[in-house]
């Protein structure tokens, strides 16, 4: 599987896991569940555009990189907070803990793939047409 497809899959998985996690946070009362949670919608839409519309472009890599770094903050924030053990022992705690770990894995892997993609495209300016061998 090439890096483009792998990055698309890990990025989409991160988005799915983050939306599951946000819904879980709302149902557990960590988030109030009001209109402020709708800020996640344009963030995920921008992430989707970076992943699916701007794939293999520098702007797509940057969008995915920034969103993945935000996703990487989720496990850090939750693991530093009080009560994580109580949540893990509660009903649905396994899913909560697994989602946090899976977000960390997919987000970090997306960061690595974005850095590799940006490194690979750093030699191109995007202004001049690519020369084709004839």
Which pLDDT score, from 0 to 100, does residue 134 have? 47
Helix (H) or strand (E) holding 61: helix 58-80
Give pLDDT, residue 49: 95
100 pLDDT higher than 70: yes
At residue 48, does pLDDT exceed 70? yes
C-beta separation of 40 from 22 below 8 A: yes
Q: Which pLDDT belongs to residue 91?
A: 80
CA distance 57 to 59: 5
15 CB neighbour count, 10 Å cutoff: 22
Q: Read off the pLDDT band of 41 (50, 70, 90).
A: very high
Name the range with the highest mean pLDDT among 53-62, 76-85, 120-129: 53-62
Q: What is the mean pLDDT of residues 52-76?
A: 92
**Per-residue CA distances from 61 to 10, 58, 74 (Å):** 13, 5, 20
Residue given tokens 């896991």 in the structure block:
17
* pLDDT tens-digit map of 77-95: 888 875 576 777 778 788 8
């Amino acid at each position: 599987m090439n890096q483009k497809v792998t990055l698309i899959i890990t990025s989409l998985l991160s988005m799915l896991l983050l939306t599951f996690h946000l819904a879980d946070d709302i149902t557990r009362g960590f988030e109030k569940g009001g209109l402020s949670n709708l800020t996640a919608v344009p963030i995920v839409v921008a992430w989707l555009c970076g992943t699916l519309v701007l794939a293999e472009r520098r702007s797509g890599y940057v969008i995915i990189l920034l969103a993945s770094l935000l996703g990487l903050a989720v496990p850090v924030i939750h693991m530093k907070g009080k009560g994580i053990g109580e949540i893990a022992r509660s009903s649905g705690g396994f899913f909560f803990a697994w989602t946090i770990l899976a977000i960390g894995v997919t987000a970090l892997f997306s960061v690595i793939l974005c850095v590799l993609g940006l490194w690979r495209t750093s030699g191109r300016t995007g202004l001049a047409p690519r020369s084709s061998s004839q």
